[in-house]
Chain A
């Protein structure tokens, strides 16, 4: 479904290289976890896939269902089914959650030839999704992320994912800042949403998320590359041993990434 090939990217206009040859293949039905120390490039990877204008791709390619998406605008990538749950969801004062979501849903629906929903139909449609992340319906009438607590913002991201039904979702540190109850709710939501036809990529610092969501693959990113891939046991090993041993193994001469 998604093939990242020798991807190089830097901060637009500043020449700071962040991704230095990432290779990663993700198939339908899979859950991948990308771990790694701070500054290793894992958050950047998900932003580059979503098309953030701050980054310039300087080499390699991203193929989605066999076609390069590098020339697509972020909204076109979203229409194609790529979703990013933000590490820091952005506030949009004066625009209600419901307005954004319906607009979002209908734009994506229209581009995929699905039926658009009128406000009443949309109301019905989102009721179940609200329950999934145990969100109070009054959330819908509040401005997008404005005055939300950290945990509420993260839950709102998963709520959006539930409503928009993407094909591939990058969840950028969705677990950070969540207390244990919220973590359970969010994990449960992700597990329920995930199926045979879609893929999920968890970008995380902590193995604790992986206690609730079982990944098929775990990758470690360092210094702009994926240096090691394995199954769930790799995450446990990282928890125990830290990252230092990998610097040596990755032949980075122990330099911090």
Chain B
């Protein structure tokens, strides 16, 4: 009898581990698998794209063909079979809709289940959402309210149609198609994603967010996000990601570009909770993402905050190019790995302007048999007089079978630069847990308390609305990882 209860308890705990693992049974438009120029033309045609964008894609594709899949990171995995991926996956029933009533009820239900209701009255107040389901943007909330302030927030496909001059000017300006293997692939086949433009002297009246959901088993997700903050403007943007549990690995290769003009500030936060595969390392998302922002104007600021908890393999280095004088780049990261997850993540801070300043705070938490690497580069160019960087990379190990690694790269071509780097490694000890348990805290709560304490400096950078979710996510993620 007692064993029964234990088994049930265990089951319910495992069930809780990844509660976004369900899939939605929707009908998809037919689109062939594989990748060649015809596929790209077809994709571009479905999306009714202008000629210049098709050319952009084809050029990227030709570049991609000449490039090698990278292998320099600290992770091993079965390489994706690019011919077997479906590069465009759109639910039938009119992909982009004007009113909520037109959305496939099954898809709407999916977002409800994920805790992202699309009805504005049910939404977190002060957050506008662009919901991306596989390859297409389903619905964007609060559009009118944003439009009143002059803020453009829509899917990138819509932006191509309605604001081509902005897209043409900035697309690929921060992450050129040739930048790397996966950026080239994305540039060739990107499907949808969010676009945001904040005009001069405007503070976005609400947080913007995109919620990415991969549902189709055979599709990859190649989203493209472009955010432009014009002079003296401010925007805070958040992305969330989940996917069903499938045994096959799915590829997610996004490109995110941020442009901050004079005195503008962009705060970009990510809560990444893609399916991470099971205990044996079967299934899960390959999260190979290129994210980069440019502080183009003087006194501009770009701040990346990320909470990375999901994916089987993560390769991701959100970076900032500080071109404008007095500009600021920030990177705050918590990367949690458990089971067989592998994460190689960090940032690049590139100082070009004078008096530029960057801060890197990275907290890696490894549990299970996972591997967690921080890889960060700080580059100070010749012209970047009085550039300053502060980096702090802390690793925490839970259990005996996981690994934590730190790879800092520092290059300075200017003698006036000041660069500080600190790193620590600690282990969540039996003694720490026992101490908290002796004070009445359960083992799971103790772990969550210790981990949250460790990650506090980063978590406090997340927008208020998401901080609670982040705390919970950390607790669930590490459930049962000690002892």
Closest B residue, CB atoms, query A105: B440
B113 to chain A, nearest CB (A): 30
A77 to B450, CA, bound (A): 21
Contact of A104 among B432, B439, B456 (CB under 8 A): B439
What 1/0 flags go to A108-127 for Cβ under 8 Å of B? 10010000000000000000
| Partner-contacting stretch, out of B10-18, B188-196, B197-205, B441-449 | B441-449
- Contact residues, B321-352 vs A (CB, 8 A): none
Given contacts A75-B443, A111-B440, A90 and B435 within 8 Å (CB-CB): yes
Instruction: Check if B430 is an interface residue, CB within 8 A of chain A.
Output: yes
Instruction: Check if A27 is an interface residue, CB within 8 A of chain B.
Output: no
A111 to B445, CA, bound (A): 15
Instruction: Check if A167 is an interface residue, CB within 8 A of chain B.
Output: no
What 1/0 flags go to B415-446 for Cβ under 8 Å of A? 00000000000000111101111111111010
- B438 A84 Cβ-Cβ under 8 A: yes
- B441 A94 Cβ-Cβ under 8 A: no
B interface SS class: helix
Question: A74 contacts which chain B residues (CB < 8 A)?
Answer: 434, 437-438
Question: A86 contacts which chain B residues (CB < 8 A)?
Answer: 435, 438
Closest A residue, CB atoms, query B451: A94
6 A-B residue pairings within 8 Å (CB atoms): A53-B483, A73-B437, A77-B438, A89-B435, A103-B445, A143-B453
- B449 A103 Cβ-Cβ under 8 A: yes
Instruction: Check if B390 is an interface residue, CB within 8 A of chain A.
Output: no
A92 to B396, CA, bound (A): 13
Instruction: Check if B151 is an interface residue, CB within 8 A of chain A.
Output: no
Contact of A93 among B429, B440, B454 (CB under 8 A): B454
Instruction: Check if B455 is an interface residue, CB within 8 A of chain A.
Output: yes
Contact of B452 among A54, A75, A78, A94 (CB under 8 A): A94
Closest A residue, CB atoms, query B430: A53
- Contact residues, A39-86 vs B (CB, 8 A): 50-54, 73-75, 77-79, 83-84, 86
Given contacts A94-B455, A95-B452, A100-B449, A79 and B440 within 8 Å (CB-CB): yes
Question: A93 contacts which chain B residues (CB < 8 A)?
Answer: 453-454
B362 to chain A, nearest CB (A): 15
A90 to B457, CA, bound (A): 21
Category for how many chain B residues contact A: 20 to 34
- A103 B441 Cβ-Cβ under 8 A: yes
A11 to B437, CA, bound (A): 19
- B435 A75 Cβ-Cβ under 8 A: no
Contact of A75 among B432, B440, B483 (CB under 8 A): B440
- B439 A53 Cβ-Cβ under 8 A: no
Given contacts A53-B483, A54-B430, A92-B432, A78 and B438 within 8 Å (CB-CB): yes
Instruction: Check if A223 is an interface residue, CB within 8 A of chain B.
Output: no
What 1/0 flags go to B447-483 for Cβ under 8 Å of A? 0011011111100000000000000000000000001
- B439 A160 Cβ-Cβ under 8 A: yes
Apart from A78-B439, A91-B432, A95-B452, what 15 extra A-B contacts exist at CB < 8 Å? A51-B437, A53-B434, A73-B442, A73-B443, A79-B440, A84-B438, A86-B438, A90-B431, A92-B435, A93-B453, A94-B453, A95-B449, A104-B440, A108-B440, A164-B439
- A100 B454 Cβ-Cβ under 8 A: no
- A100 B436 Cβ-Cβ under 8 A: yes
A108 to B457, CA, bound (A): 29
A79 to B438, CA, bound (A): 9
Question: A54 contacts which chain B residues (CB < 8 A)?
Answer: 430
What 1/0 flags go to B113-139 for Cβ under 8 Å of A? 000000000000000000000000000
A89 to B458, CA, bound (A): 26
- A75 B441 Cβ-Cβ under 8 A: yes
- A94 B454 Cβ-Cβ under 8 A: yes
Question: B432 contacts which chain A residues (CB < 8 A)?
Answer: 90-92
Question: A207 contacts which chain B residues (CB < 8 A)?
Answer: none
- A100 B439 Cβ-Cβ under 8 A: yes
Question: A6 contacts which chain B residues (CB < 8 A)?
Answer: none
Question: B438 contacts which chain A residues (CB < 8 A)?
Answer: 50-51, 74-75, 77-78, 83-84, 86
Contact of B450 among A51, A79, A92 (CB under 8 A): A92
- B440 A164 Cβ-Cβ under 8 A: yes
Listed from nearest, the 9 A-B pairs whose CB atoms lie closest are A94-B453, A74-B437, A95-B453, A90-B435, A78-B440, A94-B456, A104-B439, A75-B437, A108-B440
